Amino acid sequence: MGSRNLSRFPPHPAHNAAMRKWVHVALAVFLVAVGGVVAWEILRPHELNPIVDGKRLTTWLEGQSDEASRALEKVGTNAIPTLLWMLRQTDSPFKSTMVDLFRKQHFIKVHHIPAEQHNHAAYLAFRKLGARADVAVPALIEIYEQKLSPSSQQAAARSLGSIGPPAKQAIPVLILGMTDTNALLRIDLLRALADLHAEPDLVVPALTNALNDANPGVSVFAFDALWEIGEAAKPAVPALVKAVHNSEPSARGGAVRALLKIAPDAVVPALTNALYDTNSEVRLFACISLWEVGVDARRGVPPLANVVKQALPALVKAANDLDSGVRERADWVLRQIDPEAAAKAGVK
């Protein structure tokens, strides 16, 4: 009888099950190994991340505590390479998927800090370093222009502002960004431009244009930015005076606040004129604001004490306003600012 061809007989079922189990285990080990390498490449700490008191700098900065501030002070400007790395962090779809996958398994522990948290922590660190971080300005401009993510770009802009005048070379780039469709970025650019405290001839016109931004939130920050600049923002006074009549209450309040710091002598005339506005809300706001200005005038805040009485005739007229709210407020303001004038006008 000739030798049998064993290949003609099928493998035993138990052998098949063992082979499948072995393949699954080998595949799982392979995937874990490959995944571990991928995760390490994606999530590994930056090689320039210094150790401070037994912890990496990024670990300290995650908490933003007093201890974090002390750790940053110990490292000083040597932290800049790490901070720039943090600003460049983004969470791509692939990276996010890998993080989600590894959080579902128990072989590899993953401590992942979201890129937005890295970006924000880097900005806070740059704010603490201030002008000492001037060497980082070219790199910060580059990161801003790369538009790696909205969070990265916004944090880079704010970081430039936190450095102050040494970062003034970024002003043209930041002004150009005011046309961006991202309203949150425009707000951060306004903050940065005000914080730079440099080149008002370039900055003030850009901030003045932002007073009319299509997004009301952006325009509110434009008023705040002009207030931050102070007297150097005097070219914006005509636009601020006009804004006292704005339909948005937040805009009117921002305009008066900015005027009080930039050109206080222009506040009372603007509010006096607003008492004749066709909008009763504007007239009511003017009465309230005149009372606030009058309080400062009584405290002897110059030059308000010299001009607040200019509003008295208009207030007397407002005391007879068709709107009851305006009448009541004008009566009260007159009695508070100048009781004698109120008595003469028949205000009780």
One-letter amino acid at 344 equals K
Q: Are 128 and 65 a contacting pair, CB within 8 Å? A: no
CATH of the domain at 80: 1.25.10
For residues 96 and 82, give the distance between their C-alpha atoms in angstroms, rounded to a whole number.
22
Residues 320 and 255 in one domain: no
CATH of the domain at 253: 1.25.10.10
- Of 222, 244, 262, the residue at which a domain comes to its end is 262
For residues 37 and 31, give the distance between their C-alpha atoms in angstroms, rounded to a whole number.
10
With respect to residue 21, please indicate whether it lies within any of the assigned structural domains. Answer: no
With respect to residue 280, please indicate whether it lies within any of the assigned structural domains. Answer: yes
Chunked mean pLDDT (size 10), the chain, 348 residues: 54 58 50 46 56 79 78 89 93 58 55 82 94 97 97 98 97 97 96 96 97 92 95 96 91 92 89 91 89 66 56 86 90 79 68
Residues 150 and 244 in one domain: no
Residues 189 and 212 in one domain: no
With respect to residue 96, please indicate whether it lies within any of the assigned structural domains. Answer: yes
- Of 183, 198, 213, the residue at which a domain comes to its end is 198
With respect to residue 315, please indicate whether it lies within any of the assigned structural domains. Answer: yes
Residues 194 and 235 in one domain: no
Q: Are 46 and 82 a contacting pair, CB within 8 Å? A: yes
Q: What is the pLDDT of residue 308?
A: 62
209 lies in which domain range?
199-262
For residues 24 and 31, give the distance between their C-alpha atoms in angstroms, rounded to a whole number.
10
Q: Residue 341 has which token pair?
A: 């004038």
Residues 83 and 168 in one domain: yes
> pLDDT tens across 10-66, in order?
665 555 565 655 554 554 444 454 454 444 444 454 556 778 777 888 877 877 677
Q: How many CA atoms lie within 13 A of 109 on its CB side?
A: 1
With respect to residue 186, please indicate whether it lies within any of the assigned structural domains. Answer: yes
For residues 209 and 195, give the distance between their C-alpha atoms in angstroms, rounded to a whole number.
18
Residues 205 and 106 in one domain: no
Q: What is the pLDDT of residue 106?
A: 57
With respect to residue 34, please indicate whether it lies within any of the assigned structural domains. Answer: no
Q: How far is CA 183 from CA 44, 179, 192, 332, 345, in A?
A: 33, 9, 14, 40, 49
Structurally, the chain folds into a number of domains equal to: 3
199-205: long-range contacts, CB 8 A cutoff, minimum separation 24: 199/168, 199/171, 200/229, 200/232, 200/233, 202/171, 202/172, 202/175, 203/171, 203/175, 203/229, 204/229, 204/232, 204/233, 204/235, 204/236, 205/235
For residues 334 and 304, give the distance between their C-alpha atoms in angstroms, rounded to a whole number.
16
Residues 286 and 227 in one domain: no
Q: What is the pLDDT of residue 41?
A: 45
Q: What is the pLDDT of residue 92?
A: 64
For residues 310 and 314, give the distance between their C-alpha atoms in angstroms, rounded to a whole number.
8
Residues 129 and 206 in one domain: no
- 149 by Cβ neighbours in 10 Å (0-12 / 13-18 / 19+) ranks as middle
Q: What is the pLDDT of residue 95?
A: 59
- DSSP H or E segment with residue 55: strand 55-56
Please name the residue that has the structure tokens 């005076």. Answer: 241
Residues 96 and 159 in one domain: yes
Residues 153 and 220 in one domain: no
Residues 51 and 176 in one domain: yes
Residues 246 and 295 in one domain: no
- Of 262, 290, 307, the residue at which a domain comes to its end is 262
Q: What is the pLDDT of residue 85?
A: 93
With respect to residue 301, please indicate whether it lies within any of the assigned structural domains. Answer: yes
Q: What is the pLDDT of residue 237?
A: 97
Beta bridge partners of 56: 51
Q: What is the pLDDT of residue 320?
A: 86
